[in-house]
Amino acid sequence: MSDLRNNFIVIEGNIGAGKTSLSKKISEEYNAKLILEQFADNPFLPKFYNEPERYSFQLELSFLADRFQQLKSELNSPDLFKSFIISDYFFTKSLIFSKNTLNDDEFKLYRKIFNIIYSSLPKPDLYVYLHLDTENLINNIKKRGRNYEQEIKPEYLDKIQNAYFDYFKQQKNFTFLVIDTNNIDFVNNPKDYEKIKKAILNTKYEKGLNRVIL
């Protein structure tokens, strides 16, 4: 990497977009500190996918607490032997998902709690969003075979995607990079990985919403 531009990079995306896979590949190659979202042991997640109306508030509150605790600890404990920090999520994910899963009264309360604690977290230098069409997301979800994800509906993925883009348009002080990855396979194709890596690590972007098609 010829020019390290960002000390804290976030790789986000919808469910099944490949954000964790890409974060791992970059961290391994560049000796970056890797922060991965911890969700496998969340007891509310399988229940939510089966009964979303019943378990949405419990799920979102548990994610809020877990994400804040993890990011607060990891971001305030720099590793001098790592070149930069890369994470497969950021705290604002809590707000984006909860807006689509909670009713209005629940979301108002949730947002108050979110705003109180959000200000104490460091913000990313670059916020990357991996964009995949819903059909490709569904295919990826099926391939990785998590039982509790197999009932996810395309309509739910569409809502999450729209919520991300609404959020990007509202934020003026972040540098967002939306990468269309529908035509590449950065996990299995080294040339595609080089393309997306160059877009993220070796290109300068202005604040606001930036778009790249690979």
Q: What are the boundaries of each domain within the chain?
A: 8-213
pLDDT band at 2 (very low <50, low <70, confident <90, very high): very low
Position 1 scores a pLDDT of: 42
| Residues labelled catalytic | 88
> What is the model's pTM?
0.90
User: 8-213 has which fold?
Assistant: Rossmann fold (3.40.50)
Q: What mean pLDDT is predicted for residues 3-7?
A: 69
Q: Are 13 and 132 in contact (CB under 8 A)?
A: yes
Q: According to the model, what pLDDT value does residue 192 have?
A: 97
Residues 175-200: pLDDT tens digits? 999 999 999 999 999 999 999 999 99
Residue 40 has pLDDT above 80, yes or no: no
Q: What is the pLDDT of residue 5?
A: 66
Q: What is the mean pLDDT of the chain?
A: 91
Residues recorded for the chain: 214
Model confidence band, residue 42 (pLDDT cutoffs 50, 70, 90) = confident
Burial letters 185-213, b for 16+ CB under 10 A, else e: ebeeeeebbebbbebbbeeebeeebbebe
